[in-house]
């Protein structure tokens, strides 16, 4: 057996015996994996269905058209008013394709501040370390466009739309973007659309995380308020890795041209087939039930942490994710995430609003419920998992993260070695494995 297949088997075992609680990860369907591994991966199909640059595309044209239809159908949209492009390889290229379609270099973008929960693809640039110096242009988007960020309220840690509107009126952006990776509350799409119209801006709603919840009616929809809506397909939609752009009909040609020849060559037809299957499943009663349970589970987990005295950002959640600020507990996301993994609970460190840490050593912990809900876990299991997480946070408090950067490498090495043999963490790992056996991966 090739070593790669041995490693794939190891990963399969890891996923089976641990709790997948990174909000952007999920288990897809067996039939999606079958489609993604099919002969469709052999085909080149540059261009759009019916307008390809290569021959032999009659079948794959039908595949892509069906996926486009299902994308609109998933969100209850008419093909007379909206258009879907299912070719972006992932979320970042999807967002870049929208910018490329309607903006010119130097145009202004107003998007959410990354440490407050925004996303790199919305134009992240590092604030200058010294007053008066320019920001460090980290992303390609920030190097092409003029980007400014709006923030959450420092106290409530949710949006103050009046302040966003005031900022937009002064900045006068050409595009306003909402969405991100760690904002646990619903977004008022209608209000953002009104703000965009007042300043003459396009409105892009990035629903990468919430797409499945929106399709199922568990979260509010950005339609009909946004001009463009982008999403990834592997998160709450439960599809393979990929992305979709849905735009108002008048922008269809601009988006198609932006994808090819603007940014990409041939689309990944095998992934598009898998996306089509996942989109069809959003219309089933089982998926709708799953999406609503995903939110219930996250809310149960958030309430449990609040009751235990942890600092849950915004005091709860409306979605599939929970964000904890660990500073009042004397620790940070890096220390807790490694301990959780050793105990069989896979989450991720994350920045929090007003973070005093760095992006690599942030103060927060981000947890999600999409994948464990797929396994059939409900409120009862959330309380069990919540107690394990609370106990682990309490257990590792004696490990103090060094303030001086030069001392961190040695500390981190020693810490990793220490928790490898930590009997408390290994004990919870056994309990986690037992729980996982009761709720097998589909």
Question: Catalytic: 68?
Answer: no
Which DSSP state fits 248? E
Catalytic option among 64, 116, 206, 325: 206
Residue range 339-359, pLDDT digits in tens: 999 999 999 999 999 998 888
Say what the pLDDT of residue 134 is.
Answer: 81
Give the mean pLDDT of 307-320. Answer: 98
> How does the average pLDDT of the chain come out, rounded?
96
Residue with tokens 């739309």: 161
Question: Catalytic: 53?
Answer: no
3-state DSSP assignment of residue 440: coil
Question: Catalytic: 235?
Answer: yes
Q: Are 125 and 109 in contact (CB under 8 A)?
A: no
pLDDT at 128 over 80: no
Say what the pLDDT of residue 207 is.
Answer: 98
Q: At what angle do helices 379-395 and 423-438 cross, to 10 degrees?
A: 170
Q: How many Cα atoms within 13 Å fall on the side-chain side of residue 18?
A: 20
Say how far apart CA 21 and CA 146 lie, in whole Å: 35
Residue range 207-233, pLDDT digits in tens: 999 999 999 999 999 999 999 999 999
State the CATH architecture for 30-281: 3-Layer(aba) Sandwich (3.40)
Residue with tokens 């085909």: 43
Return the CATH number of the domain spanning residue range 291-438: 3.90.1150.10
Question: Catalytic: 232?
Answer: yes
Question: Catalytic: 46?
Answer: yes
Catalytic option among 28, 232, 294, 317: 232
Residues with Cβ within 8 Å of 324's Cβ and at least 6 positions away in sequence, in order, are 305, 310, 311, 312, 313, 352, 364, 365, 366, 367
Q: Are 209 and 23 in contact (CB under 8 A)?
A: yes
Say what the pLDDT of residue 408 is.
Answer: 87
Catalytic option among 16, 65, 137, 241: 241
pLDDT at 264 over 90: yes
Say how far apart CA 173 and CA 179 lie, in whole Å: 17
Say what the pLDDT of residue 130 is.
Answer: 76
Give the mean pLDDT of 279-308. Answer: 98
Catalytic option among 44, 197, 327, 379: 44
Residue range 368-425, pLDDT digits in tens: 999 999 999 999 999 999 999 999 999 999 998 888 888 888 998 999 999 999 999 9
Catalytic option among 25, 31, 46, 135: 46
Question: Catalytic: 341?
Answer: no
Say how far apart CA 180 and CA 208 lie, in whole Å: 8
**What residue segments make up the domains of the chain, in order of their start?**
30-281, 291-438
pLDDT at 129 over 80: no
Give the sign of the dihedral formed by CA 96, CA 102, CA 105, CA 106: negative
Residue range 103-124, pLDDT digits in tens: 999 999 999 999 999 998 999 8
Catalytic option among 157, 174, 185, 235: 235
Question: pTM of the full predicted structure?
Answer: 0.96
């Amino acid at each position: 057996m090739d070593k790669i297949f041995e490693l794939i088997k190891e990963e399969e075992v890891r996923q089976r015996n641990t709790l997948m609680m990174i909000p952007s990860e999920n288990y897809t369907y067996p039939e999606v994996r079958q489609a993604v591994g099919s002969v469709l991966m052999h085909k080149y199909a540059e261009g759009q269905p019916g307008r390809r640059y290569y021959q032999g595309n009659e079948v794959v044209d039908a595949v892509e058209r069906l996926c486009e239809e299902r994308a609109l159908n998933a969100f209850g949209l008419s093909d007379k008013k909206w258009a879907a492009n299912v070719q972006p390889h992932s979320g970042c290229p999807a967002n870049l394709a929208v910018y490329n379609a309607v903006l010119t270099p130097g145009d202004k973008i107003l998007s959410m501040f990354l440490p407050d929960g925004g996303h790199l693809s919305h134009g992240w640039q590092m604030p200058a370390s010294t007053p008066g110096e320019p920001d460090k242009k980290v992303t390609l988007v920030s190097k092409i466009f003029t980007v400014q960020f709006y923030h959450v309220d420092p106290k409530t840690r949710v949006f103050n739309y009046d302040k966003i509107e005031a900022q937009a009126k002064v900045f006068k952006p050409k595009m306003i973007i909402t969405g991100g990776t760690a904002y646990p509350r619903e977004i008022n799409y209608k209000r953002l659309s009104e703000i965009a119209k007042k300043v003459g801006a396009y409105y892009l709603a990035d629903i990468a995380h919430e797409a499945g919840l929106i399709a199922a009616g568990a979260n509010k929809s950005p339609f009909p308020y946004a001009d463009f809506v982008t999403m990834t397909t592997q998160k709450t939609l439960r599809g393979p890795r990929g992305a979709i752009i849905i735009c108002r009909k008048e922008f269809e040609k601009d988006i198609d041209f932006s994808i090819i020849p603007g940014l990409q060559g041939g689309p990944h037809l095998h992934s598009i087939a898998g996306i089509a299957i996942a989109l069809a499943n959003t219309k089933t009663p089982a998926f709708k039930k799953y999406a609503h349970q995903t939110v219930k589970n996250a809310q149960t987990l958030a309430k449990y942490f609040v009751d235990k005295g942890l600092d849950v950002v915004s005091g709860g959640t409306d979605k599939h994710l929970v964000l904890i600020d660990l500073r009042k507990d004397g620790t940070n996301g890096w220390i807790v995430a490694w301990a959780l993994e050793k105990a069989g609970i896979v989450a991720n460190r994350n920045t929090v609003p007003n973070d005093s840490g760095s992006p690599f050593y942030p103060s927060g912990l981000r947890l999600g419920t999409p994948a464990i809900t797929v396994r059939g876990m409900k409120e009862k299991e959330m309380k069990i998992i919540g107690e394990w997480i609370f106990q682990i946070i309490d257990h590792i408090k004696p490990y103090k993260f060094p303030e001086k950067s030069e001392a961190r490498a040695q500390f981190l090495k020693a810490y990793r070695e220490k928790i490898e043999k930590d009997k408390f963490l290994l004990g919870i790992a056994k309990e986690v494995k037992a729980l996982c056996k009761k709720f097998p991966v589909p």
